[in-house]
Amino acid sequence: MICPKCGFEQPDGVECMRCGVIISRYKGPVFGAAGAAGPPGTPPAFAPVAASPPPSFIPPPPVIAGGRVLAPAGGGFGDPPPVAAGGTVYGGPGSVAPTFSSFSATGQDFLGTFELGKVLGEAFSIFFSNFIPFALLSALISLPVFAFAAYLLQAHRSPATALSFFFLALLVQIILGQLTTAGLTYGVYQQMRGQSPSLMDCLRVAFSRFFPVLGVGIVAGCAVGLGAVFCLVPGFILAAMFAVVVPVTIEERPGVSDALRRSAHLTEGFRWQVFGLLFVLGVLEQILVRIAIVPAHDLGTLLMISSTVNVLTIGLRATAVAVMYYRLRSVKESVDVDQISSVFA
């Protein structure tokens, strides 16, 4: 059989072995006929198509740094350095998944690990750089406890009545501590974004999430207390598991049981570090309390001093827990602080 298109002689078949044309369907000029290419009966010389050379380089993936997408570097000498590709991690063309970051304004880098020293250092830095507004917020919310202390100082009550007021004030202090933690959590994330936290905005967030935060705080506190009563070690384990339950409730707004499970999931794999952070904070608080209560000679003075110390310690603890929650999400989920703060917009 001779192919009517290219003139290649070959065994009978459905298509040409050289040019691949389907013999029965070919309708073009017949090879060797008048006007067709080449002399009659002379097949053209076979010239294979040269294969295209392989690429000299494989372009690298986009470079992600500081929350912005950089164009990939060129493959040869003299190519320009990477430049911004017109998109950030949170919107616009070229948006990608967020990367690890720390203070947005300072450009500090967090290496994607949860280290006790780094979390403590960042918590102390944020707390003392905002010491006045954070302490003012804590003192403002703790005004009812100071009122109890003033009442006990001015009035001479029976020991049973004074003791009842004292324990009632401690209960109010615990409840208001959850409110303070909610407001300070917002302030911490505003500071981490390089913005000055507003006292009124902190109060607004605190009161808007007060009852959910109070609910999870009571449940988590009871669980930790029962674990500590029956055996000390389960109490420590539960304290580490539920360490970030308040930021979870403020940020993600789940139910009580979901918030507890979420906190347990985030702390999984890092509970020794979490326990170490809580232990360091607990030791510092106890040192301050022991030093401060030395001059106390009655319940009113004791309550006034302990409330003053609580204004300082609860701010530091709330700051550390907020930073811890952010760092755990950064390591496990590559979440940026701007994305965490977006729930307050």
The string of DSSP letters for 199-256 reads HHHHHHHHHHTHHHHHHHHHHHHHHHHHHHHH-HHHHHHHHHHTTTHHHHHHHH---H
Q: Domain count for the chain, please give it.
A: 2
Look at residue 104 and tell me if it is in a domain. Answer: no
Between vectors from CA 207 to CA 204 and to CA 208, what angle results, nearest 5°?
Answer: 80
pLDDT at residue 104 in the model: 37
Say which DSSP state 9 is in.
Answer: B
Confidence of residue 35 (pLDDT cuts 50, 70, 90): very low
Look at residue 24 and tell me if it is in a domain. Answer: yes
Q: Is the pLDDT of residue 179 over 80?
A: yes
Our CA dihedral for 216, 220, 226, 227, rounded to 10 degrees, sits at 160
pLDDT at residue 88 in the model: 32
Within this chain, do residues 14 and 123 fall inside the same structural domain, yes or no? Answer: no
Within this chain, do residues 7 and 124 fall inside the same structural domain, yes or no? Answer: no
Within this chain, do residues 174 and 302 fall inside the same structural domain, yes or no? Answer: yes
- Asked if residue 255 lies in contact with residue 232, where contact means CB atoms within 8 angstroms, the answer is no
Q: Which alpha helices (H) appear in the chain, and where do they start and end?
A: 116-129, 131-141, 143-154, 159-192, 199-208, 210-230, 232-241, 245-252, 256-267, 271-292, 299-333, 337-341
Domain that holds residue 244: 116-344
Within this chain, do residues 10 and 137 fall inside the same structural domain, yes or no? Answer: no
Look at residue 246 and tell me if it is in a domain. Answer: yes
Within this chain, do residues 35 and 132 fall inside the same structural domain, yes or no? Answer: no
Look at residue 35 and tell me if it is in a domain. Answer: yes
Within this chain, do residues 18 and 135 fall inside the same structural domain, yes or no? Answer: no
Within this chain, do residues 129 and 258 fall inside the same structural domain, yes or no? Answer: yes
Within this chain, do residues 227 and 323 fall inside the same structural domain, yes or no? Answer: yes
Residue 337, token pair as written in the block: 């602080």
Distance of CA 100 to the CA centre of its chain: 8
Look at residue 75 and tell me if it is in a domain. Answer: no
Confidence of residue 258 (pLDDT cuts 50, 70, 90): very high
User: Mean pLDDT over residues 244-256, rounded?
Assistant: 87
Within this chain, do residues 205 and 314 fall inside the same structural domain, yes or no? Answer: yes
Q: Name residues whose C-beta falls within 8 Å of residue 180's C-beta, 6 or more positions apart in sequence.
A: 137, 138, 141, 142, 206, 314, 315, 318
pTM, two decimals, is 0.62
Within this chain, do residues 40 and 121 fall inside the same structural domain, yes or no? Answer: no
Give 288-320 pLDDT, tens digit per residue: 878 877 666 777 778 788 888 888 888 888 899
Give 141-173 pLDDT, tens digit per residue: 888 888 888 877 776 667 777 788 788 888 888
- Tell me the average pLDDT of the chain: 74
Within this chain, do residues 126 and 16 fall inside the same structural domain, yes or no? Answer: no
Confidence of residue 73 (pLDDT cuts 50, 70, 90): very low
Give 212-241 pLDDT, tens digit per residue: 888 888 888 888 888 888 777 888 889 899
Look at residue 99 and tell me if it is in a domain. Answer: no
Within this chain, do residues 312 and 219 fall inside the same structural domain, yes or no? Answer: yes
